[in-house]
Amino acid sequence: MFNAELIEKAARFRGVDEDPTRNLSACPALVLNADYTPLSYYPLSLWPWQTAIKAVFLDRVDIVASYDREVHSPSLDMKIPSVIALRQYVKQSEFPAFTRFNVFLRDRFQCQYCGSHDHLTFDHVTPRRLGGRTTWENIITACAPCNMKKGGRTPKQAGMPVHQAPIRPTSWQLQQAGKLFPPGYLHETWRDWLYWDVELEA
């Protein structure tokens, strides 16, 4: 169970309601890989406290830091873990899955024609009717107005240059992109494990 599936799970697009950083009663634990880097930066790899405690008892994780809050059961009292590290290293696959979320992440959630962050959708750079395929190399993030304006034309025909030529990113490149999106909430014990803390404090 502790394999690439977990990363996929952590990276799956989540709605606001499911976002543990917005649901603090879930006392989410930051999940680190065995090398103490986050399993995923964006969305940040977080587990609800129940999952974290279960993993502790299954000896699958080490507790790195804890909340002040405790859980009580007949057999023990225990502080809720706030940072946990997997005992077994999870190797990230070299290339991430081709998903809508990952395309947005590669493109920094920005229209690749005008730079807008709003009303984002996807565009086939070479239109489908001209043989354009649905691949990393031919799909880019585009806002709805640009998408409409471009229509079934190539960027050249439409006079709409693409900001950054689409590539198939490596997992490492996608992780780098994820670091640009720190979560709205950071528990103090998470800060040491996330590289952007210094920048946030500055």
> Looking at 55, 61, 64, 146, which residue binds Zn ion (CB under 5 A)?
146
Residue 140 CB, shortest distance to Zn ion, in Å, is 10
Measure the CA–CA gap between 93 and 139, rounded to whole angstroms.
Answer: 21
Residue 161 CB, shortest distance to Zn ion, in Å, is 12
Measure the CA–CA gap between 101 and 94, rounded to whole angstroms.
Answer: 17
Nearer to Zn ion, 141 or 175 (CB): 141
- Binders of Zn ion among 112-141, rule CB under 5 A? 113-114, 116
Q: Is 148 in the site for Zn ion (CB under 5 A)?
A: no
Phi/psi at 130 (nearest 5 deg)?
-100, 15
Q: Closest Cα partner for 149 from 141, 157, 158?
A: 158
Residue 189 CB, shortest distance to Zn ion, in Å, is 40
Residue 18 CB, shortest distance to Zn ion, in Å, is 28
Q: Binding segment for Zn ion among 36-44, 99-107, 146-154, 187-195 (CB under 5 A)?
A: 146-154
Q: Binding segment for Zn ion among 4-12, 107-115, 156-164, 189-197 (CB under 5 A)?
A: 107-115
Q: Binding segment for Zn ion among 15-23, 69-77, 108-116, 179-187 (CB under 5 A)?
A: 108-116
Nearer to Zn ion, 45 or 141 (CB): 141
For 133, residues 6+ apart whose C-beta sits below 8 A from its C-beta are 124, 126
Tell me, what amino acid is at 179? K
Q: Is 41 in the site for Zn ion (CB under 5 A)?
A: no
* Two tokens, residue 65: 């830091």
Angle, vertex CA 143, rays to CA 13 and CA 173, nearest 5: 50
Nearer to Zn ion, 34 or 144 (CB): 144
Nearer to Zn ion, 44 or 142 (CB): 142
> Looking at 84, 86, 143, 160, which residue binds Zn ion (CB under 5 A)?
143
46-47 β-sheet, strand order: 46-47, 29-32, 77-86, 61-72
Q: Closest Cα partner for 181 from 121, 124, 76, 104?
A: 104
Size of the chain in residues? 202
Q: Is 111 in the site for Zn ion (CB under 5 A)?
A: yes
Phi/psi at 131 (nearest 5 deg)?
95, 5
Tell me which residues touch Zn ion (CB under 5 A): 111, 113-114, 116, 143, 146
